[in-house]
């Protein structure tokens, strides 16, 4: 397991009336996780391009954009222009040709590339793409809402993804999103994750910087 652990607070848990302050509070993190939901691929609507642009104008932090939307190829260029540094697309959000087209569009736009897996998806689904990826994102809750409980059976998915990454593309990061807190962080790290998305565990803490450091050290 890689020794360096990165923390990506999810601003889905931030107070949008005080978003600038809530971004300042996580400046010690490694990246900002930005959840985009369309109400179709997942049963919720979050935020989109205007908020992404505003976050990019406000902070120099690395912007990790997680697209929970159908046929994501349509919006790759728009989110790159809005400031995305890395984009994750769900393997379940389109057919193989559509996913390949989305990754090719990321190449054209010069943004880092990732694919995301819902809990129902086999780790082997990343195999056709693994050699070109910068990151794999494993969901440990069903995507669509923050604050859900961690699915422990997804630890095996994390382990299998780690084995695939180590065999085919060791530079690729392995991110985990969903129910990550001080109790579950050691479990996902031991399974092979090196990027931890945390919403409630960071934004629910009185001292966000201390919460970020505690997750790194958990």
Digit-by-digit pLDDT tens for the chain (218 residues) are 446 999 999 999 999 999 999 999 999 999 999 999 999 999 899 999 999 999 999 999 999 999 999 999 999 999 999 999 999 999 999 999 999 999 999 999 999 999 999 999 999 999 999 999 999 999 999 887 666 789 999 999 999 999 999 999 999 999 999 999 999 999 999 999 999 999 999 999 999 999 999 999 99
- Per the structure, the count of domains in the chain is 1
Alpha-carbon torsion (117, 63, 49, 206), positive or negative: positive
Report if residue 188 sits inside a domain: yes
Burial class (CB in 10 A: 0-12, 13-18, 19+), 43: exposed
Closest C-alpha among 5, 65, 2 to residue 32:
65
The parent domain of residue 81 ranges over 6-217
User: Strand, coil or helix: what is 55?
Assistant: helix
CATH number of the CATH domain containing 182: 3.20.20.70
The active-site residue, picked from 22, 56, 94, 177, is 177
**81 touches 56 (CB < 8 A):** no
Closest C-alpha among 100, 70, 83, 75 to residue 34:
83
Q: Measured between alpha carbons, how far is 8 from 185 in angstroms, rounded to an integer?
A: 13
Closest C-alpha among 111, 150, 114 to residue 134:
114
For the question of residue 177 being annotated catalytic, the response is yes
pTM: 0.95
The active-site residue, picked from 22, 35, 56, 94, is 35
Alpha-carbon torsion (71, 77, 81, 86), positive or negative: positive
**202 touches 212 (CB < 8 A):** yes
Report if residue 1 sits inside a domain: no
């Amino acid at each position: 397991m890689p020794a360096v652990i990165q923390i990506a607070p999810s601003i889905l848990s931030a107070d949008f009336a005080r978003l600038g302050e809530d971004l300042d509070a996580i400046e010690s993190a490694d990246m900002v996780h930005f959840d985009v939901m369309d109400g179709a691929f997942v049963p919720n609507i979050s935020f989109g391009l205007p908020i992404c642009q505003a976050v990019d104008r406000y902070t120099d932090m690395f912007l990790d954009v997680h697209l929970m939307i159908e046929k994501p190829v349509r919006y790759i260029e728009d989110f790159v222009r809005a400031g995305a540094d890395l984009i994750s697309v769900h393997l379940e959000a389109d057919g193989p040709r559509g996913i390949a087209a989305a990754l090719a569009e990321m190449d054209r736009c010069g943004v880092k590339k990732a694919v995301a897996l819902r809990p129902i998806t086999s780790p082997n689904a990343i195999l056709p793409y693994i050699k070109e990826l910068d990151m794999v994102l494993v969901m440990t809750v069903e995507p669509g809402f923050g604050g859900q409980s961690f699915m422990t059976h997804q630890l095996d998915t994390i382990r299998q993804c780690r084995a695939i990454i180590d065999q085919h593309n060791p530079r690729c990061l392995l991110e985990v999103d969903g129910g990550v807190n001080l109790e579950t962080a050691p479990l996902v790290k031991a399974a092979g994750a090196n990027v931890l998305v945390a919403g409630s565990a960071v934004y629910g803490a009185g001292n966000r910087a201390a919460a970020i450091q505690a997750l790194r050290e958990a």
